[in-house]
């Protein structure tokens, strides 16, 4: 089960980064416009972020294995359609479907791990899963460069045999688990998914279209209205999809703030580092991926170690300490014109250590904060905060690209370091040492 879930998670996260490398080939083959190419990225990110909590909550009611396999099937079929796409519209619609399937897998995976392991083994399992997450982010350009040298279609078609294999393992080897057959909160599903979709899209496009654009203002206002309506609906339903009582839990608040902060900091900083290596220093995508291997290896080792000793180390130490390591690496990095890529090595290594400590602890803490029968709901909202952090970071720091290649990267590293520092403060101050004592 752990191998199947980790492989599926690796596959879906790989598609977040690897597609960037394939864009020039897509543009040439499909005669795509700039807007078409933007939607190749945005369609996937949008549906991925919008359906995480919905998927996790539905899995608790309908069965986690069943929902996970359904999401995997949708992701695999959509990948096939992406690989066979003859027009930009077909590709973008398939990418949106890919994001829905990816949201299901991403949200349900921590609940499956929590249900399949206990005690020290659970910590190790989350450590392995967290390492795989970082591995997918780091090696995306490397794999993308190798595949697109043959054809950009392989970026998507490679998911098909992997998806079929993972589905076979899940159906043959993994037992079903669910919280019960309570009624599905359809009003909550509709309000939350549409509200998050408008919010994430508004954040992603605000920097490009202008925050004063009538379209962006309308989207953000609509998102706020829908999310307020969602909260009001959840307060009166007997079986809500989101337990709002979690927001009275100080550890949950600390975990959520730290999750938003660390993802806003790390993923935007990594994006600017990749752009610097390729656009300023002139490395190919494959060469860029090789230079990110220190980040990858350190992250994987740190995640495995953190998972192994998770039962002995308080969650606040792993989450706060991981955020602090990220902050230290970013704040200590300042480039000058002509600086070699090795000037980024300290930031890469400390970010790898920090994310290796943070990721397993975040996933494990999210499911430890609730009874096991609500694990899907809790992991879904935790993954939603994670993707929301990425969207907020991109919205806040995208303008730094206009400052010039070196100044822009320095600005991003400074602001990202301060954001990670705020996440560390939230983790240390709000997360209690003994999470399980708060489960009611």
pTM: 0.84
Token pair in block for residue 230: 């969602």
Q: Which residue has the tokens 């610097």?
A: 276
Tokens for 318? 């792993």
Q: C-alpha dihedral over 367, 370, 371, 373, to 10 degrees?
A: -70
pLDDT at res. 180: 61
Question: Which sequence spans correspond to the domains of the chain?
Answer: 2-174+243-438, 186-242
d(CA 306, CA 36): 41
What pLDDT shows up at residue 181? 62
Which value, in Å, is the radius of gyration of the alpha carbons in the chain?
A: 20
Q: What is the dihedral of CA 8, 378, 390, 89, to 10 degrees?
A: 60
Whole-number pLDDT of residue 34: 73
Angstrom distance (rounded) from CA 49 to CA 45? 6
In this structure, the number of other CB atoms found within 10 A of the CB of residue 439 comes to 12
Sign of CA dihedral 378, 383, 385, 388: negative
**How many angstroms separate the CA atoms of 409 and 401, rounded?**
8
Number of Cβ atoms within 10 Å of the Cβ of 261: 28
Q: How many C-alpha atoms does 213 have within 13 Å on its Cβ side?
A: 13
The pLDDT value given to residue 46: 83
pLDDT at 223: 92
DSSP 240: -
Count of positions (residues) in the chain: 440
Provide the CA 23 distance to its chain's centre, in angstroms: 21
Q: Which fold has domain 2-174+243-438?
A: Growth Hormone; Chain: A; (1.20.1250)
| Residue 363 to residue 134: CA distance in whole angstroms | 13
Q: Are the C-beta atoms of residues 325 and 428 closer than 8 Å to each other?
A: no
Task: Write out the two tokens for 109.
Answer: 């995976």
**Tokens encoding 71:** 């999401």
Angle CA 274–383–9, to nearest 5: 65
Q: Is 66 exposed, middle or buried (0-12, 13-18, 19+ CB in 10 A)?
A: middle
Helix extents (H) in 63-151: 64-84, 88-116, 119-148
| Residue partners of 385: CB distance under 8 A and separation at least 6 | 256, 259, 260, 263
As a three-state string, the secondary structure of 170-201 is HHHHCCCCCCCCCCCCHHHHHHHHHHHHHHHH
130, 360 Cβ separation under 8 angstroms: yes
**From first to last of its 440 residues, what are the pLDDT tens digits of the chain?**
999 999 998 888 887 777 877 877 888 889 888 778 878 887 888 888 888 888 888 888 888 999 999 999 999 999 999 999 999 999 999 999 999 999 999 889 988 988 888 877 888 888 888 778 777 766 776 777 778 778 889 989 999 999 999 999 999 988 887 766 667 888 888 898 899 888 888 887 776 777 888 988 999 999 999 999 999 998 888 878 888 888 888 899 999 999 999 999 998 888 888 888 888 898 877 787 788 888 888 988 888 888 888 778 888 999 999 999 999 999 999 998 888 999 999 999 999 999 989 988 888 888 888 887 788 888 888 888 888 888 788 777 767 767 777 888 999 999 999 999 999 999 999 887 554 434 43
If DSSP codes are grouped into helix, strand and coil, which group holds residue 391? helix
Distance CA 262, CA 326 (A): 8
């Amino acid at each position: 089960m752990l191998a199947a879930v980790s492989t599926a998670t690796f596959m879906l996260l790989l598609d977040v980064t690897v597609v960037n490398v394939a864009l020039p080939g897509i543009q040439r083959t499909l005669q795509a416009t700039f807007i078409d190419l933007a939607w190749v990225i945005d369609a996937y990110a949008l549906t991925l972020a919008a359906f995480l909590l919905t998927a996790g909550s539905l899995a608790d009611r309908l069965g986690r294995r069943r929902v996970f396999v359904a999401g995997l099937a949708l992701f695999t079929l959509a990948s096939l359609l992406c690989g066979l796409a003859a027009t930009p519209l077909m590709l973008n619609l398939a990418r949106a479907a890919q994001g829905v399937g990816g949201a299901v897998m991403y949200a349900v995976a921590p609940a499956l791990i929590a249900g399949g392991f206990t005690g020290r083994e659970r910590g190790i399992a989350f450590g392995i899963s967290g390492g795989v997450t970082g591995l997918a982010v780091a090696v995306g350009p490397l794999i993308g460069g190798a595949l697109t040298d043959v054809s950009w279609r392989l970026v998507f078609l490679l998911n098909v045999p992997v998806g079929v294999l993972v589905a076979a393992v899940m159906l043959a080897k993994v037992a079903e688990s669910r919280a019960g057959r309570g009624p599905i909160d359809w009003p909550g599903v509709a309000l939350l998914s549409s509200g998050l979709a408008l919010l994430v899209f508004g954040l992603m496009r605000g920097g490009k279209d202008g925050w004063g654009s009538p379209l962006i203002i309308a989207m953000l206002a609509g998102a706020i209205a829908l999310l307020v309506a969602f909260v009001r609906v959840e307060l009166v339903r007997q079986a809500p999809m989101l337990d709002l009582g979690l927001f009275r839990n100080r550890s949950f608040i600390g975990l959520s703030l730290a999750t938003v902060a660390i993802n806003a900091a790390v993923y935007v900083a990594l994006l600017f580092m990749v752009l610097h290596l390729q656009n300023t220093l002139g490395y190919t995508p494959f060469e860029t991926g090789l230079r990110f291997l220190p980040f990858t290896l350190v992250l994987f080792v740190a995640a495995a170690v953190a998972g192994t000793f998770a039962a002995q180390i308080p969650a606040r130490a792993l989450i706060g300490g991981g955020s602090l390591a990220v902050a230290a690496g970013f704040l200590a990095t300042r480039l000058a014109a002509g600086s070699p890529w090795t000037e980024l090595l300290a930031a890469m290594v400390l970010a790898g250590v920090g994310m290796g400590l943070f990721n397993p602890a975040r996933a494990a803490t999210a499911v430890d904060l609730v009874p096991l029968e609500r694990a899907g709901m809790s992991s879904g909202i935790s993954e939603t905060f994670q993707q929301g952090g990425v969207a907020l970071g991109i919205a806040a720091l995208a303008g730094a690209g206009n400052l010039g290649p070196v100044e822009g990267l320095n600005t991003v590293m400074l602001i990202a370091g301060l954001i990670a520092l705020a996440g560390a403060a939230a983790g240390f101050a709000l997360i209690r040492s003994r999470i399980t004592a708060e489960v009611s």
